[in-house]
Amino acid sequence: MKDFKDKNVYIVGGSSGIGFSTAKLLFRKGSHIILFARNTERLQKAVNEIEGLRIFDDQKLSWMAMDVANREEVKSIFKNSINDFGSPDLLINCAGRAIPYRFEDITYEQLNETMKINLYGTWNTVEQAVPFMKEKGGHIVNVSSIAGFIGVYGLTDYCASKFAVIGFSEALRSELKPFGISISVLCPPDTDTPGFEVENRTKPEETKAISSSAKLLQPDRVAKTLIKGIQKGKFLIIPGFNGKLSYYVKRLFPSLVTAIMDWDIRRVQLKGSR
């Protein structure tokens, strides 16, 4: 997809953070945008802000409240949206969350919820969109993370869900290619969003130490890289120099990545035991 003008864009998790920045950028490029998230006040506020960026009169802008973790809800909301708004040319699955804790402090309920939002939520929207997208082609973006290819201390449930998003997307890519549907996976590093702020409230010191040397990106920068990546037809989109570097180092020298992380963790633990 090179040109976004007049394209129907579904942004799941579009009321905040990376999804919201992407919505603003694409609306400025002439896309028709529909946002999905759970909280209606935040959705309305996001749409009000995006409205100011309108570039032509009949540009569509809308929202629907939906919990991606609820398959039946996704089924009915997507059915209505496809009827009223039109089927998606571009589907962006940005809904997700992380609640960092050490493994033994993560309840089974938390694991279940993380999987239901981050992995099953992605499956649920793709499941509803694909039959319609097959008719005209299009592009799907699933949002993973750097923690989708590097296992990080304090993020066991999150890493399990985000590694799975990459596997799911890679397998799906080859199945959907004959129908003119391409796929990208966005792997952001730490990004300054409301979700990141929530994440920091429970983050173990070890987890903070591991990412402390990487630059915190702004969501608008991540959105810009995402749009460029879609235009270039990239499968894996990793914003920022540090993120790209960590991907290549992990691939070429996996034990170096583990050794650096172990060193960061040990440093924090030794400090704590003093």
Ligand X SMILES: NC(=O)c1ccc[n+]([C@@H]2O[C@H](COP(=O)([O-])OP(=O)(O)OC[C@H]3O[C@@H](n4cnc5c(N)ncnc54)[C@H](OP(=O)(O)O)[C@@H]3O)[C@@H](O)[C@H]2O)c1
Q: Which residues bind ligand X (CB under 6 A)?
A: 13-19, 37-39, 42, 66-69, 94-98, 117, 121, 143, 145, 188, 190-191, 193-196
158, 182, 203, 211: the catalytic one is 158
Min dist. Cβ of residue 249 to ligand X (A): 18
- State the Cα–Cα distance between residues 74 and 124, nearest whole angstrom: 7
Min dist. Cβ of residue 4 to ligand X (A): 20
Q: What are the structure tokens assigned to 50, written together?
A: 């995006």
Tell me the three state secondary structure of residue 102. coil
| Closer of 55 and 198 to ligand X (Cβ) | 198
**CA neighbor of 26 nearest in space, from 41, 46, 6:** 6
| Closer of 17 and 179 to ligand X (Cβ) | 17
| Closer of 35 and 268 to ligand X (Cβ) | 35
Spell out a b/e string for 54-74, using b for 16 or more CB atoms within 10 Å of the CB, else e. eeeeebebebbbbbbbbbebb
Q: Is 158 a catalytic residue?
A: yes
16, 162, 169, 246: the catalytic one is 162
Min dist. Cβ of residue 25 to ligand X (A): 14
Q: Which residue matches tokens 């571009």?
A: 90
87, 144, 145, 161: the catalytic one is 144
Angle between helices 40-51 and 17-28 (to 10 degrees): 30
Q: What are the structure tokens assigned to 62, written together?
A: 């809308």
Paired residues of 185 in beta bridges:
142, 236
Q: Strand runs (DSSP E) across the chain, as ranges?
A: 8-12, 32-37, 61-65, 90-93, 138-143, 181-186, 236-237
Q: Is 224 a catalytic residue?
A: no
| Closer of 14 and 154 to ligand X (Cβ) | 14
DSSP letter at 29 equals T
Q: Is 162 a catalytic residue?
A: yes
Min dist. Cβ of residue 190 to ligand X (A): 4
Which residues carry out catalysis?
Answer: 144, 158, 162
